[in-house]
Amino acid sequence: MFFIVLPILVIIHFFSLKYTKRKALRFANYEVIEKLTGKKVTSKNFSLLLLRIIIISFLVFSAAGTTYWYTGQGSTFDYAVLIDASVSMLAEDYEPNRIEAAKDAALSFLNSFPGVVNMAVATFTGTTFIKQKMTESKRDLRKAINGIGIEEIGGTAIGDSMVTASNLLFEKEEGNVLVILTDGQSNVGLSPRGAIQYLNEKKILVHTIGIGTPTGGRFIEGSDVLSRLNEEPLMEIASQTGGQYFKVENLEELKDAFSDISKSKVQRLSYNLTISFMLIGLSLLLLEWSLMNTKYRSLP
Protein backbone atom coordinates (compact mmCIF):
# COMPACT_ATOMS: atom_id res chain seq x y z
CA MET A 1 0.00 0.00 0.00
CA PHE A 2 2.84 2.37 0.87
CA PHE A 3 4.35 2.05 -2.61
CA ILE A 4 0.95 2.70 -4.19
CA VAL A 5 0.29 5.89 -2.18
CA LEU A 6 3.60 7.57 -3.07
CA PRO A 7 3.15 7.65 -6.90
CA ILE A 8 -0.43 8.89 -6.41
CA LEU A 9 0.88 11.67 -4.15
CA VAL A 10 3.44 12.77 -6.77
CA ILE A 11 0.80 12.81 -9.53
CA ILE A 12 -1.60 14.86 -7.40
CA HIS A 13 1.18 17.30 -6.50
CA PHE A 14 2.07 18.16 -10.11
CA PHE A 15 -1.55 18.12 -11.25
CA SER A 16 -2.47 20.64 -8.55
CA LEU A 17 0.43 22.90 -9.58
CA LYS A 18 -0.70 22.83 -13.21
CA TYR A 19 -4.27 23.58 -12.22
CA THR A 20 -3.19 26.43 -9.93
CA LYS A 21 -1.08 28.05 -12.64
CA ARG A 22 -3.88 27.76 -15.23
CA LYS A 23 -6.33 29.34 -12.80
CA ALA A 24 -3.93 32.14 -11.92
CA LEU A 25 -3.31 33.15 -15.54
CA ARG A 26 -6.90 34.33 -15.72
CA PHE A 27 -6.03 37.22 -13.41
CA ALA A 28 -2.45 38.13 -14.28
CA ASN A 29 0.19 37.69 -16.95
CA TYR A 30 2.78 35.77 -14.99
CA GLU A 31 5.07 35.31 -17.97
CA VAL A 32 5.61 39.10 -18.07
CA ILE A 33 6.17 39.21 -14.31
CA GLU A 34 8.77 36.46 -14.57
CA LYS A 35 10.67 38.38 -17.28
CA LEU A 36 10.64 41.59 -15.24
CA THR A 37 11.68 40.02 -11.93
CA GLY A 38 13.96 37.37 -13.35
CA LYS A 39 12.35 34.89 -10.94
CA LYS A 40 9.98 32.01 -11.34
CA VAL A 41 6.63 33.15 -10.00
CA THR A 42 5.15 29.68 -9.86
CA SER A 43 7.24 26.94 -8.32
CA LYS A 44 7.22 23.18 -8.60
CA ASN A 45 7.86 23.05 -4.84
CA PHE A 46 10.04 19.94 -4.85
CA SER A 47 10.95 20.57 -1.21
CA LEU A 48 7.29 20.59 -0.30
CA LEU A 49 6.75 17.36 -2.25
CA LEU A 50 9.61 15.71 -0.33
CA LEU A 51 8.09 16.89 2.95
CA ARG A 52 4.72 15.40 1.97
CA ILE A 53 6.35 12.07 1.13
CA ILE A 54 8.02 12.04 4.56
CA ILE A 55 4.69 12.87 6.24
CA ILE A 56 2.88 10.07 4.40
CA SER A 57 5.69 7.66 5.30
CA PHE A 58 5.42 8.39 9.02
CA LEU A 59 1.61 8.15 9.00
CA VAL A 60 1.62 4.87 7.05
CA PHE A 61 4.22 3.30 9.36
CA SER A 62 2.21 4.54 12.35
CA ALA A 63 -0.99 2.96 11.01
CA ALA A 64 0.93 -0.29 10.41
CA GLY A 65 1.88 -0.48 14.10
CA THR A 66 5.65 -0.44 13.45
CA THR A 67 7.63 -2.05 16.27
CA TYR A 68 11.36 -1.83 16.95
CA TRP A 69 12.78 -5.13 18.19
CA TYR A 70 16.00 -5.37 20.20
CA THR A 71 17.72 -7.52 22.79
CA GLY A 72 18.50 -6.35 26.28
CA GLN A 73 19.69 -7.65 29.61
CA GLY A 74 17.22 -9.43 31.89
CA SER A 75 17.32 -11.02 35.32
CA THR A 76 14.57 -13.66 35.47
CA PHE A 77 13.60 -16.03 32.69
CA ASP A 78 11.16 -18.81 31.92
CA TYR A 79 12.59 -21.56 29.71
CA ALA A 80 10.82 -23.99 27.41
CA VAL A 81 12.85 -26.84 25.92
CA LEU A 82 11.46 -28.19 22.65
CA ILE A 83 13.07 -31.43 21.49
CA ASP A 84 12.66 -33.09 18.10
CA ALA A 85 11.21 -36.58 18.61
CA SER A 86 10.90 -37.61 14.96
CA VAL A 87 12.36 -40.88 13.70
CA SER A 88 15.45 -39.12 12.30
CA MET A 89 16.52 -38.51 15.92
CA LEU A 90 17.38 -42.22 16.08
CA ALA A 91 20.39 -41.49 13.88
CA GLU A 92 23.49 -43.05 15.39
CA ASP A 93 25.98 -40.26 14.69
CA TYR A 94 25.70 -39.59 18.45
CA GLU A 95 26.23 -42.23 21.10
CA PRO A 96 23.91 -44.12 21.41
CA ASN A 97 21.69 -41.90 19.21
CA ARG A 98 20.53 -38.27 18.87
CA ILE A 99 17.43 -38.54 21.05
CA GLU A 100 19.32 -40.02 24.00
CA ALA A 101 22.07 -37.43 23.63
CA ALA A 102 19.41 -34.69 23.59
CA LYS A 103 17.86 -36.02 26.82
CA ASP A 104 21.26 -36.21 28.49
CA ALA A 105 22.04 -32.60 27.51
CA ALA A 106 18.58 -31.37 28.60
CA LEU A 107 19.15 -32.89 32.04
CA SER A 108 22.53 -31.21 32.19
CA PHE A 109 20.82 -27.92 31.27
CA LEU A 110 18.33 -28.32 34.11
CA ASN A 111 21.07 -29.18 36.60
CA SER A 112 23.10 -26.11 35.57
CA PHE A 113 20.68 -23.91 37.52
CA PRO A 114 21.72 -24.13 41.19
CA GLY A 115 18.52 -22.56 42.50
CA VAL A 116 14.91 -22.31 41.42
CA VAL A 117 14.16 -22.16 37.69
CA ASN A 118 10.88 -22.03 35.78
CA MET A 119 11.00 -24.52 32.91
CA ALA A 120 8.70 -26.48 30.60
CA VAL A 121 9.40 -29.43 28.29
CA ALA A 122 7.80 -30.49 25.00
CA THR A 123 8.64 -32.68 22.03
CA PHE A 124 7.47 -32.53 18.45
CA THR A 125 7.13 -34.52 15.25
CA GLY A 126 4.22 -33.74 12.93
CA THR A 127 2.48 -32.43 16.05
CA THR A 128 3.55 -31.13 19.46
CA PHE A 129 3.53 -33.13 22.71
CA ILE A 130 3.53 -31.24 26.00
CA LYS A 131 5.59 -33.31 28.45
CA GLN A 132 5.67 -30.84 31.33
CA LYS A 133 4.06 -27.40 31.65
CA MET A 134 5.92 -24.52 33.30
CA THR A 135 7.03 -25.55 36.77
CA GLU A 136 9.74 -24.98 39.37
CA SER A 137 9.82 -28.67 40.29
CA LYS A 138 13.10 -30.12 39.05
CA ARG A 139 11.83 -33.55 40.03
CA ASP A 140 8.89 -33.28 37.63
CA LEU A 141 11.12 -31.86 34.92
CA ARG A 142 13.64 -34.70 35.22
CA LYS A 143 10.82 -37.22 35.02
CA ALA A 144 9.46 -35.54 31.87
CA ILE A 145 12.87 -35.44 30.17
CA ASN A 146 13.68 -39.06 31.04
CA GLY A 147 10.32 -40.12 29.60
CA ILE A 148 10.99 -38.61 26.17
CA GLY A 149 11.07 -41.06 23.27
CA ILE A 150 10.46 -41.23 19.55
CA GLU A 151 6.82 -40.44 18.72
CA GLU A 152 4.90 -42.53 16.21
CA ILE A 153 3.31 -39.62 14.33
CA GLY A 154 5.28 -38.97 11.14
CA GLY A 155 6.75 -35.71 9.85
CA THR A 156 8.61 -32.86 11.50
CA ALA A 157 6.69 -29.60 11.99
CA ILE A 158 9.15 -27.11 13.47
CA GLY A 159 7.03 -24.03 12.70
CA ASP A 160 3.84 -25.49 14.19
CA SER A 161 5.69 -26.63 17.29
CA MET A 162 7.14 -23.15 17.84
CA VAL A 163 3.66 -21.61 17.82
CA THR A 164 2.10 -24.35 19.96
CA ALA A 165 4.89 -24.22 22.54
CA SER A 166 4.68 -20.44 22.81
CA ASN A 167 0.92 -20.62 23.40
CA LEU A 168 0.84 -23.51 25.87
CA LEU A 169 4.08 -23.26 27.80
CA PHE A 170 4.76 -19.59 28.59
CA GLU A 171 2.77 -17.79 31.27
CA LYS A 172 4.26 -14.28 31.41
CA GLU A 173 4.67 -11.51 28.83
CA GLU A 174 8.46 -11.00 28.89
CA GLY A 175 11.61 -12.93 29.73
CA ASN A 176 10.56 -16.05 27.81
CA VAL A 177 13.28 -18.20 26.22
CA LEU A 178 12.53 -21.08 23.86
CA VAL A 179 15.28 -23.64 23.19
CA ILE A 180 14.75 -25.82 20.10
CA LEU A 181 16.86 -28.91 19.59
CA THR A 182 16.45 -30.54 16.18
CA ASP A 183 18.22 -31.70 13.04
CA GLY A 184 16.31 -28.98 11.17
CA GLN A 185 14.46 -31.29 8.77
CA SER A 186 11.06 -29.53 8.79
CA ASN A 187 8.76 -31.11 6.20
CA VAL A 188 5.13 -30.56 7.27
CA GLY A 189 2.96 -27.76 8.63
CA LEU A 190 3.83 -24.10 9.02
CA SER A 191 7.32 -23.20 7.86
CA PRO A 192 9.79 -22.05 10.55
CA ARG A 193 10.00 -18.69 8.75
CA GLY A 194 6.22 -18.30 9.07
CA ALA A 195 6.39 -18.76 12.85
CA ILE A 196 9.09 -16.17 13.46
CA GLN A 197 6.79 -13.12 13.31
CA TYR A 198 4.36 -14.74 15.74
CA LEU A 199 7.09 -15.43 18.30
CA ASN A 200 8.44 -11.89 17.90
CA GLU A 201 5.00 -10.49 18.67
CA LYS A 202 5.01 -12.52 21.87
CA LYS A 203 8.56 -11.33 22.73
CA ILE A 204 9.97 -14.85 22.82
CA LEU A 205 13.72 -15.20 22.30
CA VAL A 206 14.63 -18.44 20.53
CA HIS A 207 17.91 -20.32 20.75
CA THR A 208 18.31 -23.15 18.24
CA ILE A 209 20.61 -26.16 18.55
CA GLY A 210 21.39 -28.11 15.41
CA ILE A 211 22.10 -31.75 16.23
CA GLY A 212 23.85 -33.84 13.61
CA THR A 213 27.34 -34.56 12.34
CA PRO A 214 28.62 -33.52 8.87
CA THR A 215 28.57 -37.15 7.71
CA GLY A 216 25.05 -37.74 9.05
CA GLY A 217 23.75 -40.92 10.59
CA ARG A 218 21.59 -43.93 9.71
CA PHE A 219 18.30 -44.17 11.56
CA ILE A 220 16.62 -47.11 9.81
CA GLU A 221 18.20 -50.50 10.50
CA GLY A 222 19.53 -52.15 7.37
CA SER A 223 19.09 -49.00 5.30
CA ASP A 224 21.63 -46.66 3.76
CA VAL A 225 19.36 -43.62 4.26
CA LEU A 226 21.23 -40.87 6.14
CA SER A 227 19.88 -37.98 8.18
CA ARG A 228 21.97 -34.82 7.90
CA LEU A 229 21.67 -31.51 9.68
CA ASN A 230 19.74 -28.73 7.89
CA GLU A 231 21.21 -25.57 9.39
CA GLU A 232 19.61 -22.79 7.34
CA PRO A 233 16.16 -22.63 9.03
CA LEU A 234 17.71 -22.91 12.48
CA MET A 235 20.12 -20.07 11.81
CA GLU A 236 17.28 -17.90 10.51
CA ILE A 237 15.02 -18.60 13.50
CA ALA A 238 17.75 -17.64 15.97
CA SER A 239 18.90 -14.49 14.13
CA GLN A 240 15.36 -13.20 13.56
CA THR A 241 14.26 -13.67 17.18
CA GLY A 242 17.39 -12.32 18.90
CA GLY A 243 18.70 -15.73 19.92
CA GLN A 244 21.78 -17.74 19.06
CA TYR A 245 22.34 -20.75 16.83
CA PHE A 246 24.55 -23.60 18.09
CA LYS A 247 25.94 -26.28 15.81
CA VAL A 248 26.96 -29.31 17.86
CA GLU A 249 28.76 -32.37 16.56
CA ASN A 250 29.14 -34.40 19.75
CA LEU A 251 27.62 -34.74 23.20
CA GLU A 252 30.19 -32.49 24.84
CA GLU A 253 29.43 -29.62 22.43
CA LEU A 254 25.72 -30.21 22.99
CA LYS A 255 26.13 -29.80 26.74
CA ASP A 256 28.29 -26.71 26.21
CA ALA A 257 25.54 -25.15 24.08
CA PHE A 258 22.98 -25.66 26.84
CA SER A 259 25.47 -24.30 29.36
CA ASP A 260 25.95 -21.10 27.33
CA ILE A 261 22.18 -20.65 27.12
CA SER A 262 21.78 -21.03 30.88
CA LYS A 263 24.38 -18.29 31.46
CA SER A 264 22.93 -15.85 28.92
CA LYS A 265 21.02 -12.88 30.34
CA VAL A 266 19.71 -11.64 27.00
CA GLN A 267 15.97 -11.30 26.51
CA ARG A 268 13.72 -10.12 23.68
CA LEU A 269 12.37 -6.58 24.06
CA SER A 270 10.29 -4.29 21.87
CA TYR A 271 9.25 -0.66 21.55
CA ASN A 272 6.07 0.25 19.69
CA LEU A 273 6.68 3.26 17.43
CA THR A 274 3.01 3.90 16.54
CA ILE A 275 2.51 6.97 18.75
CA SER A 276 5.97 8.38 18.02
CA PHE A 277 5.51 8.14 14.26
CA MET A 278 2.02 9.61 14.49
CA LEU A 279 3.25 12.63 16.48
CA ILE A 280 6.11 13.21 14.06
CA GLY A 281 3.73 12.94 11.08
CA LEU A 282 1.22 15.39 12.58
CA SER A 283 4.01 17.85 13.51
CA LEU A 284 5.35 17.79 9.97
CA LEU A 285 1.79 18.20 8.68
CA LEU A 286 1.50 21.48 10.63
CA LEU A 287 4.89 22.53 9.27
CA GLU A 288 3.72 21.80 5.71
CA TRP A 289 0.58 23.88 6.23
CA SER A 290 2.70 26.77 7.47
CA LEU A 291 5.12 26.56 4.53
CA MET A 292 2.28 26.33 2.01
CA ASN A 293 1.05 29.71 3.17
CA THR A 294 4.45 31.39 3.40
CA LYS A 295 7.71 30.34 1.74
CA TYR A 296 6.37 27.69 -0.63
CA ARG A 297 3.24 29.32 -1.92
CA SER A 298 2.56 28.40 -5.52
CA LEU A 299 1.35 31.95 -6.11
CA PRO A 300 2.50 35.24 -4.49
Instruction: Assess contact for 56 and 5: CB atoms under 8 A.
Output: yes
Say how many C-beta atoms besides its own lie within 10 A of residue 156's C-beta.
24
What share of the chain in percent tops pLDDT 70?
73
What does the alpha-carbon distance between residue 183 and residue 228 come to, in Å, rounded to a whole number? Answer: 7
Residues 206-225 pLDDT 10s:
999 999 887 887 776 656 77
Residues 93-129 pLDDT 10s:
888 899 999 999 999 999 998 888 999 999 999 999 9
What does the alpha-carbon distance between residue 117 and residue 18 come to, in Å, rounded to a whole number? Answer: 70
Asked whether the predicted pLDDT for residue 229 surpasses 50, the reply is yes
Say how many C-beta atoms besides its own lie within 10 A of residue 144's C-beta.
23
What does the alpha-carbon distance between residue 261 and residue 243 come to, in Å, rounded to a whole number? Answer: 9
Give me the amino acid identity at 113. Answer: F
Q: Quickly state the pLDDT bin for 36 (edges 50, 70, 90).
A: very low
Domains in the chain, CATH or no CATH each: 2-66+273-292 (no CATH), 70-272 (3.40.50.410)
Q: Which residue has the higher pLDDT, 142 or 153?
A: 142
pLDDT at 44: 52
Instruction: Assess contact for 96 and 160: CB atoms under 8 A.
Output: no
Burial call 245-283: b when 16+ CB within 10 Å, e when fewer = bbbbbebeebbebbeebbebebbbbeeebeeebeebbee
SS (H, E, C) 162-180: HHHHHHHHCCCCCCEEEEE
Q: Quickly state the pLDDT bin for 139 (edges 50, 70, 90).
A: very high
Instruction: Assess contact for 184 and 233: CB atoms under 8 A.
Output: yes
Which DSSP symbol is given to 90? G
For the chain, the straight-line distance linking the first and the last C-alpha, in angstroms and rounded, comes to 36
